[in-house]
Amino acid sequence: MSKKRLITTVLWLSRLLFGVVFVFSGFVKAIDPLGSVYKFQDYFLAFNMEWLFPTALPLAVLMSSLEFVIGMAVLLGVKMRYTAWGGLLFMAFFTPLTLYIAIMDPVSDCGCFGDALIISNWATFYKNLFILAASVFIFNYRHQVKPLWSENKDWYVLALLFLLIVWLSVYCLRNLPVIDFRPWKVGNNIAQMMEPVQEEEAEFYFVYRNTTSGEEKEFDMDDLPSADEGWEFVDRRKNVIREYIEAPVDDFVIQDEEGFDLTEIYLGNPDYQFILVAYDLNNTHKGAFEDRIHSFASSAKADGWSFIVLTGSSLPDIQNFREELQADYPFYQADEVKLKTIIRSNPGMLLMKDWVVLDKWHHRNIPIYQEVKEKHMD
């Protein structure tokens, strides 16, 4: 194979690798902008930069949009003089950043692929090394990529791609993600989601010292010596054969004001169960309660169905909120961070039955009770 042919082949492969990763990363974050906001806030907290919280949403939309547009541009060969620069600068910034995150571990998950694909911080760094190499190769040979159309039309393509991905983010922000990658998506059985993905499998070895000779020897669990034989315990070693992988829904608890665990009562309710999630009552959309939620809860209660609110707010805040809005349905507490994973809306509503999520609604899209009854109930 000639050198020119080799360069052309490697350039195509580099564009394919770089473009697919950037498009996928940008898309999965664009459809869940609030997920990216929460991840940015995690970073700001880790680096003591809480003052940047107001920038989390615009940064989330901007970064996912840039990733998507740069990835599509590289795949299509659009404006390579600019997009090759954009891709190289992107990777030149994030590669050392992900190395620092892998070493210092300020957050457990970098969030580079949203909730669609969660990988370790070290795996993220190694992935970025490959993408950085591809971006360097693309940059060096950017002039060999032919324009897709004309110079002017290529600008129209970039503008259209940017507008489409921003519109998608805004749509998912004002409604719900068009694709839900989280454990609480419609159709999932939460009881199953609470089971570990993989149990740990390990071998244990015990180190004993001979009291007479001073010799140290390792024994397995089936062949442990006794003190009568002149051995004393020194240490233990564990050889992990298969790592433990925690449950997708881990340590989720619903508590009443007395601290009693009501999780199984409500999530495992064999009848229809309506759950309104308002993770922060101080910043929730109060108009949604007055316009839709009050009447919906009354209709559900009249039909004999349970309707509860889950919040991460304090008991005094709950009491003040209920009095202010005259909410006569039960409020219970759960961890605020875990509530944010249930639904990307504050408030947002779920319909469940016997651990299964039947439907979810952003507060802007909560239907009238009769529509839900006709669609889901016997």
What are the pLDDT digits (tens) for 25-61?
999 999 999 999 999 898 888 888 889 999 999 999 9
What is the DSSP track for 218-230?
A: EEEGGG---GGGT
What are the pLDDT digits (tens) for 163-178?
999 999 999 999 999 9
d(CA 30, CA 165): 7
Angle between helices 33-46 and 56-76 (to 10 degrees): 120
Mean pLDDT of the residues in the chain: 91
CATH level 3 topology of 263-376:
Glutaredoxin (3.40.30)
Which whole number is the average pLDDT over 192-211? Answer: 89
Helices (H), 141-179: 151-174
- Encoded tokens for 153: 């039309």
The verdict on whether omega for the bond into residue 196 sits within 30 degrees of 0, i.e. cis, is no
Evaluate if residue 21 carries a pLDDT over 90. yes
User: What phi-psi label fits residue 245: left (phi over 0), alpha (psi between -120 and 50 degrees) or beta?
Assistant: beta
Strand partners, 261: 255
* Banded pLDDT at 137 (limits 50, 70, 90): very high
- Identify the helix (H) or strand (E) that includes residue 208: strand 201-210
Strand partners, 356: 189, 353
Evaluate if residue 313 carries a pLDDT over 80. yes
d(CA 276, CA 349): 4
252 and 338 Cβ atoms separated by less than 8 Å? yes
What are the pLDDT digits (tens) for 217-243?
888 877 888 766 788 888 888 888 888
What are the pLDDT digits (tens) for 53-84?
999 999 999 999 999 999 999 999 888 889 99
Q: Which of 12, 14, 20 is nearest to 135 (CA)?
A: 14
Report pLDDT for 377.
84
- Identify the helix (H) or strand (E) that includes residue 311: strand 306-311
Strands 272-277 and 306-311: parallel
Report pLDDT for 159.
92
What are the pLDDT digits (tens) for 89-125?
999 999 998 998 888 888 877 778 888 888 888 889 9
Q: For the chain, where do the domains classified as CATH 3.40.30.10 start and end?
A: 263-376
First to last CA, the chain: 68
In single-letter form, the type of residue at position 143 comes to H
Residue 155 per-residue DSSP state: H
Residue 146 per-residue DSSP state: P
Of the candidate ranges 11-25, 227-241, 283-297, 359-373, the one whose mean pLDDT is the lowest:
227-241
Report pLDDT for 263.
96
d(CA 360, CA 275): 10
Report pLDDT for 110.
77
d(CA 288, CA 343): 15
Report pLDDT for 199.
87
Report pLDDT for 24.
95
